[in-house]
């Protein structure tokens, strides 16, 4: 069913595969120090600590007293996304992309209305996107403008 390409090269798949999942990240690190590279976590009172619980950065610039010798937190790119799955369903003539952001899931689907359907949409393609009033299953969304939502509230 699928031909899967990774960086432009075909990857072997099983003929009856209907979905492909891409895992992103893997170590749950959402922040790293931009100076020393250590994984960081933020304390309740807003301090940044490395894996050993240290607040002092070994690579802190001694000439920059404004930073106080502490780590410099930087968000890890794509750390907000757990995985993406693409599912092709021949019986529904649809393709759905599932996106998992933290503990929230979202789905975007394209499907064709059967040619013999008694509808003015017969044979047409539809795109279903997440929206705040969608029934069940996805995380909360707050509309910002047409087609763009803030994840959460």
Q: Does residue 34 touch Zn ion according to CB under 5 A?
A: no
Q: Does residue 33 touch Zn ion according to CB under 5 A?
A: yes
- Stretches 17-25, 66-74, 114-122, 126-134: which one binds Zn ion (CB under 5 A)? 66-74
CB of 80 to Zn ion, least distance (A): 22
Annotate the chain with DSSP letters as a single string. ---EEETTEEE---TT--EEEEE--SS---EEETTT--EEEE-TTS-EEETTS--B-TT--TT-GGGTTB--EEEPTTTTEEEEEEEEEGGGTEEEEEEEETTEEEEEEEEE--TTSSSTTTT-EEEE---TT--SSS--EEEEETTEEEE--
Q: Does residue 88 touch Zn ion according to CB under 5 A?
A: no
Q: Does residue 138 touch Zn ion according to CB under 5 A?
A: no
Q: Which of 57, 100, 130, 138 is close enough to bind Zn ion by CB under 5 A? A: 57
- Stretches 4-12, 25-33, 80-88, 143-151: which one binds Zn ion (CB under 5 A)? 25-33
Interface ranges with Zn ion (CB under 5 A):
33, 35-36, 57, 71
């Amino acid at each position: 069913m699928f031909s899967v390409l990774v960086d432009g090269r075909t990857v072997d798949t099983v003929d009856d595969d209907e979905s492909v999942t891409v895992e992103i990240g893997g170590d749950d690190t959402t922040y790293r120090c931009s100076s020393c590279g250590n994984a960081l976590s933020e304390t309740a009172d807003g301090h940044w600590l490395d894996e050993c619980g240290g607040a002092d950065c070994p690579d802190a610039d001694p000439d920059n007293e404004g930073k106080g010798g502490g780590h410099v937190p930087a968000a890890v790119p794509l750390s907000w996304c757990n995985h993406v799955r693409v599912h092709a369903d021949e019986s529904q003539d649809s393709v759905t992309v599932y996106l998992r952001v933290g503990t929230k899931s979202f789905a975007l689907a394209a499907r064709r209305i059967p040619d013999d359907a008694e509808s003015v949409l017969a044979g047409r393609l539809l795109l279903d996107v997440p929206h705040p009033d969608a029934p069940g299953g996805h995380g909360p969304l707050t509309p910002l403008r047409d087609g763009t939502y803030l994840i959460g509230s």
